Structure 1
Amino acid sequence: MHPLSKKLKQPSSHFSFISPSSLFLCLLCVAALFFTFLLLKSSPSSPPNDSRINREPLFSPTCNVSHGRWIYDPTVKSARYDDTCKEIYKGWNCIGRNKNNAHDIFKWRWKPYECNLPQFNALQFLDRFRNTNIGFIGDSLNRNMFVSLFCTLKGVSGEVKKWHPAGADRGFTFLKYNLTIAYHRTNLLARYGGQPMPMLVYLNLLDTRRDSKLMLTYLKEHGQMLHSSMMFSSLTRDTGGGLLQSLTR
């Protein structure tokens, strides 16, 4: 036999066969990677962490903020002021008098049906109503609103001058902003006459002719005086609802 043919018949020592078990493992790994790629490609991407998803409607200037309800919000961590505010009437100082559920009272907030009302911003309020006089006229309900506003504003601006204006019980001027808020107590602005008076009207004391006509018209039609809760401003004409909505602009 030719030496060359003999050499060709000898199996090469560098060539080896792949065992069936090794081949199976390789195919299994390839299949796993392929299906993993398909799953990642077909699955929807994670939604962005956007707080606007599934949240309450944003505030709109056209929103009727008076149409809503009180809701309990456990996320409220602290009140805008505490029982150390000296203007709080002692008999109504729930925290100072250790009322059982006093701290839960602060967790209630007003929620309009049509929008989400942002939290009150005291600094924004002071800046917006510079050089302005704001008055609360009415009974204890108006006094509570007056005290609440004062204590909230004083928490961010301590330069305050207290005074007793003519015809009003008390007033405070925030010197840095030249903003004055005052309270005048009177029980003669409303006469109920035994029937419910759900109407709440904000009168502009700068437009006395219009206000007088409005009250006389209501008296003629209903036979009694208009139930009103009044706020006045020496510089702004859109009081009441405008005062509330302006806090969010």
Structure 2
Amino acid sequence: MGAKLKLPSSTLFIWLIISTCALTIFYSKLVPSSSPPLVPCNLFAGKWVIDPNRPRPIYDETCPFHRNAWNCLRNQRDNMEVINSWKWVPEDCELNEIDPLEFMGVMRDKRIGFVGDSLNENFLVSLLCILRVADTGAKKWKRKGAWRGAYFPKFNVTVAYHRAVLLAKYQWSEGDEVKGVHRVDVDIPAKDWEDIGGFYDILIFNTGHWWGYDKFPKESPLAFYQGGKPIVPAPDMLEGLQIVVKNMAAYIQKEFPKTLKFWRLQSPRHFHGGDWNQNGSCLFDKPLEDSELDLWFDPSYNGVNKEARVINELIIKALQGTDIEVLDLTHLSEFRADAHPAIWLGKKDAVAVWGEDCMHWCLPGVPDTWVDILWQHVHYRLGQPVPENKHVV
């Protein structure tokens, strides 16, 4: 009988490793990944860089979805060309500017909803004006309890905003010891969005800008209820905010299990020299320096713009354990003291009545960068290829 060929044990071991790796690669080509790839870098850390050759904004003052006070081109705000020459550059990756046609192709037959306060509406208007470039036949849309929105017939895409400033249900009740209270049912969503389950494919939530004593002074405070009964001991305002966010996050998890969900953190204010009702101003002609940010926004300095970081910390804790993705747009927006409507509000007596607007943003402007970041995150969450860096002109 012929002798059998025997391989050394070390050689046999190497061949087993090679064959195992080959089979793993082979079957990985056949079986798709069970989850989309994660965004491979932090788009929220970076710096603003002036780019004088940057293409003009993707939309202008003629967009029909503008809100008058934010339409800084029509209101002839100073330095709009410079404001839109700044580009956000992440530290270790590239932020791709949105291509409206590509976005609409991916979103075809889908619906996108924004739920929250006017800073989410600011976000929405930017997105609507950008997407209209891909479908000029877009029509105003206001159904399903939406405050405002648009329908894009060319792609069968709906984008809408549901105004719910506290997210939870609240209503005014007369009081005895005080003028009255705003009753907040922390476990019941506001009626503006309680019936939208199953309608939207993507939802972007926010709250926080109404959680202050300027909106709810001590003579007419918030009173928190759960299960129809007052919460005892009574939470203060920020404790109530955290309870509301935790309850609303649980509701969102339950009612929108298949929806792609985002939560946008605070949009920082830039009032200088006093709050909005104390002659605060934001007449700046360039972004803040990195070294200035803590002086403006760190709570330890007790400045008028400190609430963004305080509220963010509470919201992040309340969202832990959910599949709601956080869009931390705060830091990149903190730099842009130069990009608010300020005194250019479109109405002659607006500043005398309301003060300068150092909270909302000019459009086109900073919210367009928010849209670019949202777009890139949506791409990854849907398992789409990385979008190319295009800019429609």
The interval holding the TM-score normalised by the smaller chain is: 0.5 to 0.7
CA change 1:248–1:147 in 2 (3 A) is: farther
User: Does structure 2 retain, via aligned residues, the 8 Å contact 1:123–1:156?
Assistant: yes
TM superposition shift of 1:93: 1.3
Distance in 2 (CA, whole Å) between partners of 1:224 and 1:155 is: 35
| 1:44-65 Cα distance to aligned partner (Å, 9 max, x none) | xxxxxxxxxxxxxxxx941222
CA change 1:88–1:223 in 2 (3 A) is: closer
CA change 1:162–1:112 in 2 (3 A) is: same
Equivalent in the alignment of 2:46: 68
Distance in 2 (CA, whole Å) between partners of 1:103 and 1:224 is: 35
User: Does structure 2 retain, via aligned residues, the 8 Å contact 1:136–1:230?
Assistant: no
Alignment of 1:130-209 (within 5 A): 130-189=108-167, 190=207, 193=237, 207-208=253-254
Distance in 1 (CA, whole Å) between partners of 2:386 and 2:140 is: 28
CA change 1:209–1:241 in 2 (3 A) is: farther
TM superposition shift of 1:229: 9.5
Distance in 1 (CA, whole Å) between partners of 2:379 and 2:147 is: 24
Equivalent in the alignment of 1:112: 90
In the alignment of these two chains, the number of paired residues is: 170
Distance in 2 (CA, whole Å) between partners of 1:129 and 1:207 is: 22
CA change 1:173–1:125 in 2 (3 A) is: same
TM superposition shift of 1:71: 2.9
| 1:189-213 Cα distance to aligned partner (Å, 9 max, x none) | 3455469x9xx99x798732699xx
Normalising by structure 1, report the TM-score: 0.56
Distance in 2 (CA, whole Å) between partners of 1:247 and 1:105 is: 31
2:248 is the counterpart of 1:248: no
CA change 1:223–1:118 in 2 (3 A) is: closer
User: Does structure 1 retain, via aligned residues, the 8 Å contact 2:132–2:138?
Assistant: yes
1:140 partner letter: S
Extract unaligned runs of 5+ from structure 2. 1-37, 168-206, 212-236, 258-313, 328-373, 388-393
| 1:103-136 Cα distance to aligned partner (Å, 9 max, x none) | 2222222222110112211111000111111011
CA change 1:169–1:176 in 2 (3 A) is: same
CA change 1:223–1:244 in 2 (3 A) is: closer
2:72 partner letter: C
- Percent sequence identity is 32
Report the aligned-residue RMSD.
4.0
Equivalent in the alignment of 1:14: none
TM superposition shift of 1:145: 1.3
* Larger RCO, structure (CA 8 Å, separation 6 or more): 2
Distance in 2 (CA, whole Å) between partners of 1:147 and 1:170 is: 10
Bigger shift: 90-99 or 107-116? 107-116
2:92 is the counterpart of 1:92: no
Distance in 2 (CA, whole Å) between partners of 1:224 and 1:114 is: 24
Normalising by structure 2, report the TM-score: 0.37
Extract unaligned runs of 5+ from structure 1. 1-59, 212-221, 232-238
TM superposition shift of 1:164: 0.9
Distance in 1 (CA, whole Å) between partners of 2:256 and 2:62 is: 42
2:45 partner letter: H
Distance in 2 (CA, whole Å) between partners of 1:81 and 1:204 is: 38
CA change 1:76–1:209 in 2 (3 A) is: same
Equivalent in the alignment of 1:21: none
1:208 partner letter: K
Distance in 1 (CA, whole Å) between partners of 2:256 and 2:156 is: 28
Alignment of 1:228-247 (within 5 A): 242-243=377-378, 245=380
CA change 1:151–1:229 in 2 (3 A) is: farther
Q: What stretches of structure 1 move > 2 A for 4+ residues in a row?
A: 66-73, 189-195, 203-211, 222-231, 239-242, 244-249
Distance in 2 (CA, whole Å) between partners of 1:73 and 1:186 is: 37
TM superposition shift of 1:102: 1.6
TM superposition shift of 1:83: 0.8
SS of alignment partner, residue 122 of structure 2: helix
| 1:64-114 Cα distance to aligned partner (Å, 9 max, x none) | 222333333222131100111122111111111111112222222222211
Bigger shift: 186-195 or 121-130? 186-195
User: Does structure 2 retain, via aligned residues, the 8 Å contact 1:174–1:180?
Assistant: yes
